[in-house]
Structure 1
Amino acid sequence: MGLEAVVNEIREKGRKEVEATRAETRAEVDAILRDAQERAAGIKVSAQEEADRAATHIINQETSAANLVVKRQVLNAQKTLLDQVYSASLAAVGSLPAEFQEKALTELLKRAAKVIKKGVVHANERDLPMVEAIISRQRTLSGYTVGDPVEIAGGVIVESNDGELQIDYSYRTFLDEVWESDLKDASDILFT
């Protein structure tokens, strides 16, 4: 075997070793790349799931907060409307015809006379002349005198002469009683 044959054999052996090393390196590189791609895909999926969870959580929080704001605004609007209904009711009762006012004041004074025999009767400025006329006509009310006008929509406030006892038969008092006992019914009627 000649030198050239030995050199060719060494070259061939070197070339085979280089190809084997290259193939082995390529296989290792491919395995490393596949592993990296799998880990990257796993990280991407995990990050996407975490982002989706965070987004869902934020959306739920914002939705809850918005619902609370809307509910508060609705309740405030309902309260405003109920306050308007209350004021309108009080004004309507106070502005009923004079014949109604006279009958109502007479009945209220008779009720008060059962508790306070002698006292001072207060009414609004508009009703004072009517109260004076009722007291002068009714014998059972002879212990009453007419006092200063008060700021009420209607009705009377009777105070004993010694100031120890006071009965509030103003329309506001009666409306408050009805309002408190029937507010839920009124609310249901107005807002359903």
Structure 2
Amino acid sequence: MSLDTVVEDIREQARARADEIRDEADAEAEEIIAEAEADAEEIREEILDDAERTIEQEREQKLSSAKLEAKQARLEARRDVLQSVRDDIEQEVSELSGDQRAELTEALLDATAEEFDDDASVRIYGRAEDQELLEELLEEYDGFEYDGEFDCLGGVVAESDESRVRVKNTFDSVLDEVWENNLREISDRLFEQ
């Protein structure tokens, strides 16, 4: 064998080994690329899943917030309607006149008189516009005297130094009590669902 043949054999072996190394490197590179692509796909899926969860959470939060705002707006509207009804009732009560006002005022005055001893000196206060009516009604009560005005829709406020009692029997106080005791029914009737 000649030196040229040996050199050529070594070159052939080196080329074969280089091809083999190149093939192994290509295979390893393809494996690394495939693993990287699989990792990238897994990361992409995780990111998409996280994004979908975040979107769903935000959607739920916004929906919940919108529902709460709507409920608050509905409650505010109901409060406004109830206040409007209350204002209308107060207006009607303040405008009561004639026999109806006299009868109601007398009934409240009778109930008030029961709270005091027969010999007590009682000062009566009432709505300025009712002074004449109160003075007329008080003629029937010994020891009772009109003593000035009280800011109310009507009725009476009575005080006595002897018993240190103050009785507030005004249209306002009666309306407050009736309103509180019947608010649920009033609301149900106004806002039947």
Deviation at 1:12, TM superposition (A): 2.9
1:27-176 to structure 2, matched below 5 A, reads 27-116=27-116, 117=118, 118=120, 119-136=122-139, 138=140, 141-160=141-160, 162=162, 164-176=164-176
TM-score by length of 1: 0.85
Deviation at 1:105, TM superposition (A): 1.3
The percentage of counterpart residues that share the same residue type is 27
TM-score by length of 2: 0.85
- Number of aligned residue pairs: give it: 189
Match of 1:186 in 2: 186
After superposition, the C-alpha distances for 1:24-59 in whole angstroms (9 at most, x for unaligned) are 111111111001111111111112222222332333
Deviation at 1:112, TM superposition (A): 2.0
What is the distance in 2 between the residues matched to 1:58 and 1:47?
Answer: 16
Asked if the contact 2:152/2:172 (under 8 Å) is kept, the reply is yes
Could you list the runs of 5+ residues in structure 2 that have no partner in the other structure?
none
Cα RMSD, aligned residues only: 2.2
Letter in 1 for 2:135: E
Asked if the contact 2:123/2:147 (under 8 Å) is kept, the reply is yes
After superposition, the C-alpha distances for 1:5-37 in whole angstroms (9 at most, x for unaligned) are 444433333332222222111111111100111
Could you list the runs of 5+ residues in structure 1 that have no partner in the other structure?
none
Letter in 2 for 1:60: E
What is the distance in 2 between the residues matched to 1:145 and 1:11?
Answer: 136
Deviates more, 1:60-69 or 1:103-112: 60-69
Asked if the contact 2:109/2:155 (under 8 Å) is kept, the reply is no
Deviation at 1:133, TM superposition (A): 1.9
After superposition, the C-alpha distances for 1:107-156 in whole angstroms (9 at most, x for unaligned) are 222222222234122111111111222233x3xx2332112011111111
SS in 2 for 1:152: coil
